[in-house]
Amino acid sequence: MPDSISLPKGTVVPDHVAMILDGNRRWARARGLEPWQGHYYGFKAVEKLADASRKLGVHTFTVWAFSTENWDRPQIEIDAIMNIFRRALKEKEKEFHRGRVALVHLGRKDRLPPDIRRELTRIESETAKYIGHNVFNLAVDYGGRDEIVRATQKIIDSGLKIIDDKTFESFLDTANQPYPNPDLFIRTSGEQRTSGLLPWQMVYSEFYFETEHLPDFTPEKLMEAILDYSRRRRRFGGNDTVEHFHFDPKVTAKLEIQWWRLRNIPEGIDFKDYAMKHIKEQFGLSTILALQAAGFLMEAVIEEKKSKFDKAAVTMKKFYELVRDELKLAFEPKIVAFLEVELDRELGGKESVEGTFEAEETAKRFYAEVYRISLFQAAKAAHLRVLAAVERNMAEAAHSTGSGSSRFAEEHWDKAEVYLQKFYSALKERVA
pLDDT given for residue 132 in this prediction: 95
Distance CA 260, CA 393 (A): 10
CB 219 within 8 A of CB 48: yes
Distance CA 184, CA 14 (A): 6
pLDDT (tens digit per residue) in 269-309? 566 777 788 788 878 888 888 888 888 888 888 888 788 88
CB 11 within 8 A of CB 230: yes
Q: Which residues contact 106 (CB under 8 A, 6 or more apart)?
A: 62, 137, 138, 139, 140, 142, 147, 173, 174, 198
> What is the model's pTM?
0.72
CATH 3.40.1180.10 residue ranges of the chain are 16-230
pLDDT given for residue 243 in this prediction: 53
Could you tell me which of 389, 374, 373 has the C-alpha nearest to residue 340? Answer: 389
pLDDT given for residue 1 in this prediction: 45
pLDDT given for residue 347 in this prediction: 92
Taking the CA atoms of residue 124, residue 81, residue 189 and residue 108 in that order, the dihedral angle to the nearest 10 degrees is -40
Residue 300: exposed, middle, or buried by beta-carbon count in 10 A (0-12, 13-18, 19+)?
buried
Write out the H or E segment, with its range, that includes residue 73. Answer: none
SS3 for 427? helix
pLDDT given for residue 61 in this prediction: 98
Mark the ranges of the chain whose per-residue pLDDT is less than 50.
1-2, 239, 241, 263-264
The amino acid that residue 369 corresponds to is E
CATH class belonging to 16-230: alpha beta
pLDDT given for residue 324 in this prediction: 83
Which residues have a catalytic role annotated?
22, 70
